[in-house]
Amino acid sequence: MKKDTHSSSREISLQRARELSGYAADYREAKTHIPKGTDQACIDLYEKQKAKLLAALDASEDDWNDWKWQMQNRIHDADTLAQILDLSEAERQNLAEIGETYRWAITPYYLALIDPADPHDPVRALSIPTDAEMEDASGESDPMAEEFTNPAGIITRRYPDRLILNVTNACAMYCRHCQRRRRIGGTDLDVTKAALEESFAYIRDNPEIRDVLITGGDALAIPNEQIEYILSNLRAIPSVEVIRFGSRTLVTMPMRIDDEFLAIVEQYHPVYLNTHFNHPREVTPQAIAACAKLCRAGVPLGNQMVLLRGINNDKHVVQSLNHELCKARVRPYYIFHAKNVRGTKHFCTSIDEGLEIMAYLRGRTSGMAVPTYILNAPGGLGKIPLSPDYIVERNDEAVTLKTWEGKLLQYPNQV
């Protein structure tokens, strides 16, 4: 009897395992068609385009691996870009015209990731302007009302215990969906010492502030000595417990994570870094190496993806990205619903698309690979988490719940 019971339990377990394997079938098929930065074809493309760029810029391998050289040699004119991407005359003209309104620039490294034969390359869409930016007259320049949440210096404050320091308007690459494109201007400008001192004084005078996010622009676009000056001043404030960086340089210029920066950061822990991968193509061997360096220096890493039409508004692409991030020791932290920024409407999706992706991820992959879907409330009112409805009905006695498979169950609502 005992043996029969065991056999029956094992058969039930095997049947359930077959059922669960079936849930993975669609992703297993889909991921074979989703390019990743670690695919040999993508690595070969990168090396080929890198060689073209080194020749065009008359540069060496040492130059390429120097983040300062990458910053100084960002491509921001159509003629140079055309040597790498074979632009038509019409495309050159369009880029020149768009650049009069919306600044663009791309590091040689990130440009080397673009497949010139693919007009729909996601890396290209994230970095190279298109007519769609000029056709979009809707949207706002400051949908987050950051100009009205600036109590002092370079601070943005929307929450009781934390705030942002906007230390520069510079970025290694100007993303086409940027929420702060109003601040980019025509030249890179780091903040003044006076503005920083005013910000430090505000934090000292408001001891409820325990968490400071250093961003911009991109927080790592400024020199290491400036970063150390900011970190040392923040760490000297007794109420500041956690310091965070917001930076996309791991994606657009991974050589920025140099030994000097790592040595500085290690002196001021706990220091966190949230980065911004949007597609599996961006998770390259170089980006993975930069992540590993930060992990060895004790810096926990999170990722903040923005849901973007034509880039990643696909459940399988998001799952692939999150798996690649977890392998690189980067925790998928947030999926941001794209903001209503002027010139970026062509990237916007419906909220339903985001909810569908979240419903798909839950249960089909590990919880650590499931970020929180966030909508930033207009007017600077903060983040609103969005999730599928798993509570179907609720009363004083019981709650009717829906599982990740769509099965309904009742659970007591009393202790």
pLDDT (tens digit, 9 = 90+) per residue, 159-186? Answer: 999 999 999 999 999 999 987 777 776 6
Residue 409 confidence (pLDDT) above 60: yes
pLDDT at 134: 84
Token representation of residue 332: 């998928």
Residue 352 confidence (pLDDT) above 90: yes
pTM above 0.75, yes or no: yes
The CA distance from 349 to 340, in Å, is 10
Q: Which of 9-13, 90-94, 229-233, 253-257 has the lowest mean pLDDT?
A: 90-94
pLDDT at 6: 72
Residue 1 confidence (pLDDT) above 60: no
Token representation of residue 33: 């068609």
The CA distance from 87 to 69, in Å, is 25
Q: Classify 102 in phi/psi space as left (phi over 0), alpha (psi -120 to 50) or beta.
A: beta
pLDDT at 185: 65
- In tens, the pLDDT along 206-220 reads 999 999 999 999 999
Local structure of residue 144 (DSSP, 8 states) = T
Residue 139 confidence (pLDDT) above 60: yes
Residue 262 near residue 294 (C-beta atoms within 8 A): yes
The residue-averaged pLDDT of 251-266 equals 98
Phi, psi dihedral angles at 164 (to 5 degrees): -110, 140
pLDDT at 40: 98
The CA distance from 369 to 364, in Å, is 10
pLDDT at 186: 66
Residue 342 confidence (pLDDT) above 90: no
**Average per-residue pLDDT in the chain?**
94
User: Tell me, what amino acid is at 46?
Assistant: Y
Name which of 159, 186, 157 is nearest 170 in CA terms. 186
- In tens, the pLDDT along 52-93 reads 999 999 999 999 999 999 999 999 999 999 999 988 888 888
Superfamily of domain 34-387: Aldolase class I (3.20.20.70)
Name which of 264, 261, 83, 72 is nearest 172 in CA terms. 72
Other CB atoms within 10 Å distance of the CB of residue 293 = 17
Residue 243 confidence (pLDDT) above 80: yes
Q: Considering only residues 341 and 197, tell me which one the structure prediction assigns the higher pLDDT.
A: 197
Describe the crossing of helices 78-85 and 40-56 by its angle, rounded to 10 degrees.
140
pLDDT at 204: 98
pLDDT at 257: 98
Q: Classify 310 in phi/psi space as left (phi over 0), alpha (psi -120 to 50) or beta.
A: left
- Map residue 385 onto helix, strand or coil: strand
Residue 335 confidence (pLDDT) above 60: yes
pLDDT at 135: 79
Hey, which bits of 204-325 come out as E strands?
211-215, 242-246, 271-275, 301-307
The CA distance from 200 to 38, in Å, is 42
- What's the length of the chain? 415
